Structure 1
Amino acid sequence: MEYKRAQELLNKYLEGNCSPEEIDLVESWYLKETDRPPALQTEPDYSALGKNIWKDIQQENTKTRKLVPFYKWAAAAAILFILGAGLYYMTNIRTAPVQSVEHFAQNDIAPGGNKAFLTLANGKRIALDDAGNGKIADQTGVSISKTADGKLVYTVSDALKSNQKNSRTANFNTIETPKGGQYQVDLPDGTKVWLNAGSSLRYLAQFAAAKREVELKGEAYFEVAKRTVDGKRLPFIVKTNIQEVEVLGTHFNINSYEDEGNTKTTLLEGSVAVHPVLTNGTIVPGRTIKPGEQSTLNASVLKVATVDTEQVLAWKEGFFMFDDENLQSIMYQVARWYDVEVEFKESGLKTKEFSGTVSRFGNVSQVLKKIELTGSVHFKIEGRRIVVMK
């Protein structure tokens, strides 16, 4: 990689203007370079270097008044350091102990992709990744099609639309993504839903005239279509096991994985009301959240805080993104996307916190290697099990 071209690419990376392919290029090159054994004849003062880099970053951020996520600065600073000074150190070779990465190369695991199962009202179950493109089913005036880019689309016939007020047909469908799967579905009302791995959405193939309601397990991002009946906006309700979210027309993300212990609702656009649901089914008046806010519901306690929405939606854009996130939470995400089991050799490792970003479309070794670069944790891949140790 020529130095001038690398500088131009890194500037785009810092500014957030890289294409997904360019991001992969930068990060893959960085991982390749960091796999080389240390070749330092004179040990540099890493502490001083780190302080100077951080000082420059702070000054640049103050000058430009532009919020740039730290992970981008950290990765780019590391690469620039390798480009500028690395050749000197690499040509002055002194063999040093280095951790082998053969356990990654021999047992690497490929990422997930567009995989899901659709269960129709009559009980028929369709593997969407095996189904051909085009129409895959019809349900009383509703056509269900699969597009070439891996999306499920519902189309309501004109005759059914004109008679929608009188229709009472309850054809429930369920779309489920397995571990290692994700999928997008366009619901009959035009609402777009992106499902993360290990999630399911239950909904009517044709919504009733007075109410739109879906049931979610796992994580999904919604872009709710605005609909009106007799001049009034038609509510859209998302139910999980512990809450109801009432929507009028908005963009938001809900994370309701049961193994994570709480449910998080993050609003990007519009307005939603989050209501806790007690174990006896009672709906408790909750809170209305604003764009940029996230509600967290745990044991009927609802809290609201401002969050980085870019981080929350990283999964939808094809990234893992962590900001002082504990390792247990990180490995939950890794386990779902790569369809693996995770074993911690020591429980104390679960609370260690990490920050950074990495593509979801590389092998699992790319994620593990980035975390290992911190020097505080080590991974071993055994079949479809990842062992976490000191």
Structure 2
Amino acid sequence: MQKDPGKLLEKYKAGNCTEKEKAIVESWYLELVSKGNAPAAADIEISKKEVWASLAEGKTDPKKNTVWRWAIAAAILFLIGAAGLFSLKEEGTTTLTKHTLKNNDVAPGSNKAFLTLADGTKISLTDAENGEIARQQGLSIQKTANGQLVYTVDDKAAGKNSKVAFNTIETPKGGQYQINLPDGTRVWLNAASSLRYPTKFSSNTRSVTLQGEGYFEVAKISDSKARRIPFIVKTANQEVEVLGTHFNINSYDDENEVKTTLLEGSVRVSLVGNIKNGPSKLLKPGEQSQLGNQAIQVKTVDTETVMAWKNGDFVFKGEDLKSIMKKVARWYDVEVVYQGDFDHLKFAGYLSRSKNISSVLGIMESTGKVHFSVEGRKVTVLK
């Protein structure tokens, strides 16, 4: 990995950085913006010559040199614009107005969810004490201190009731949660999502229903004849069959496509109801299926960007503004309205999801291409 800042910025400008190097360069700028050190778009051209002079002098410690911090910020903002990640060519740019955002700030989401038991009992996992919160169908349901719901078999009660019962865990806007299913499968739910699952899986298949977005690490389970028991994830329009693998499904109602991204193993994606006989696609690691208009397309994607939410980050790489704001709305539990046409505005950036909403919006404002007004939980997007 390139460590010299001058050469690293040159690589970034030429588009030759590795994903890790890109993250380093862009995180430099994002860190400066979060501290109020980033220059306005109008300062970029003036600062450009000073930037490269500073790089040549070897001023490489941004913590000890204020001039270097401004130089790096101007260089990165210039390079991002040159690379087409932030569009800075149009006239009428505006300056960053972080004071307005911070005065009307919104905290990020956290571990929040509701569990609905088979008998209709609804438990707020946010308010429940850590430890065992329920017993049913030969299972003990426990909440852990780090935001997980864990099912474990209660040997003493197991087998007393063979009736199939279903539980549902759902996250609100501004919430996320992890659940360990009775078979050992682990599922991470993003904001505004739900998972319906049986408290006990059958001996020949395992099936759950997802709404919203979830990341799955499926446990490998075999039957008495040493045959793998398949695991099926159903959404409104598709079914995904796996044997034991890691994958992500994005199936929000307000998205145009259902996206299934494979990280490890293999999965078969089919239209709902056609998992056995209908048209389907078999994915390889690094591939994503996109289901829209009853057709499945497959392409190779950047899995780091797809999985950023699960890893606690926002990662945008040439993503359009409205797509970004859908993610912002879910995670910060805000309403987003638009005043103007923003269909062709795209951004790139890297930021922790633990930051307040002002940090995310401030990054986009710093390009001079968009402005945000925050009133309570309503965000207005302005030219």
Please tell me the TM-score bracket, short chain as reference: 0.7 to 0.9
| Secondary structure of 2:350 counterpart | strand
Q: Deviations over 1:262-312 (max 9, x none)?
A: 10000000000000127x999732110000000000011100000000110
Counterpart Cα distance in 2 of 1:325 and 1:77: 31
Counterpart Cα distance in 2 of 1:85 and 1:131: 46
The one of 269, 274, 292 equivalent to 2:269 is 274
Match of residue 379 from structure 2 = 386
Match of residue 77 from structure 2 = none
| Secondary structure of 1:328 counterpart | helix
Counterpart Cα distance in 2 of 1:109 and 1:286: 42
User: Alpha carbon RMSD of aligned pairs, Å?
Assistant: 3.7
Counterpart Cα distance in 2 of 1:225 and 1:281: 20
Q: Are the counterparts in 2 of residues 276 and 283 from structure 1 also a CA contact under 8 Å?
A: no
How far is 1:387 from its partner? 0.6
Counterpart Cα distance in 1 of 2:286 and 2:344: 26
Match of residue 331 from structure 1 = 325
Q: Are the counterparts in 2 of residues 212 and 235 from structure 1 also a CA contact under 8 Å?
A: yes
Match of residue 358 from structure 1 = 351
Within 5 A, what are the aligned runs for 1:173-184? Answer: 173-184=167-178
Counterpart Cα distance in 1 of 2:69 and 2:150: 53
Match of residue 104 from structure 1 = 101
Structure 2 residue 111 is matched with structure 1 residue 114: yes
Distance 1:98 1:307, change over 3 A: closer
How far is 1:44 from its partner? 3.4
Match of residue 261 from structure 1 = 256
Structure 2 residue 137 is matched with structure 1 residue 153: no
**Which amino acid counterpart does residue 276 of structure 1 have in structure 2?**
L
The one of 86, 93, 104 equivalent to 2:70 is 86
Within 5 A, what are the aligned runs for 1:1-390? Answer: 16=20, 27-34=30-37, 43-45=46-48, 83-84=67-68, 86=70, 98-158=95-155, 168-230=162-224, 231-277=226-272, 284-346=278-340, 348-390=341-383
Question: What stretches of structure 1 move > 6 A for 4+ residues in a row?
Answer: 23-26, 36-40, 76-82, 280-283
How far is 1:325 from its partner? 0.8
Counterpart Cα distance in 2 of 1:283 and 1:242: 16
| Secondary structure of 1:126 counterpart | strand
Distance 1:273 1:15, change over 3 A: closer
| Secondary structure of 2:46 counterpart | coil
**Which amino acid counterpart does residue 354 of structure 1 have in structure 2?**
F
How far is 1:156 from its partner? 1.3
How far is 1:34 from its partner? 3.0
**Which amino acid counterpart does residue 381 of structure 2 have in structure 1?**
V
Counterpart Cα distance in 2 of 1:311 and 1:373: 22
Greater RCO, CA 8 A, separation 6+:
2
How far is 1:168 from its partner? 3.9
Report the structure, 1 or 2, having the larger helix content: 1
Q: Are the counterparts in 1 of residues 29 and 38 from structure 2 also a CA contact under 8 Å?
A: no
Counterpart Cα distance in 2 of 1:80 and 1:263: 47
Counterpart Cα distance in 2 of 1:224 and 1:33: 43
| Secondary structure of 2:182 counterpart | coil
| Secondary structure of 1:361 counterpart | coil
Q: Deviations over 1:45-80 (max 9, x none)?
A: 47x979xx9xx9xxxxxxxxxxxxxxxxxxx99999
Distance 1:372 1:383, change over 3 A: same
Counterpart Cα distance in 2 of 1:140 and 1:38: 61
| Secondary structure of 1:143 counterpart | strand
**Bigger Cα displacement from structure 2, 183-192 vs 101-110:** 101-110
Counterpart Cα distance in 1 of 2:19 and 2:63: 15
Q: Are the counterparts in 2 of residues 380 and 387 from structure 1 also a CA contact under 8 Å?
A: yes
Distance 1:236 1:108, change over 3 A: same
**Which amino acid counterpart does residue 130 of structure 1 have in structure 2?**
D
Counterpart Cα distance in 2 of 1:286 and 1:37: 50
Q: Which runs of 5+ in 1 are unaligned?
A: 1-5, 18-22, 57-75, 91-96
Distance 1:80 1:284, change over 3 A: farther
Q: Deviations over 1:178-231 (max 9, x none)?
A: 000000000000000000000000000111111110000000000000000021
Counterpart Cα distance in 2 of 1:128 and 1:25: 37
Q: Deviations over 1:337-382 (max 9, x none)?
A: 0000000101x21331111111110100000011112211111101
How far is 1:86 from its partner? 3.5
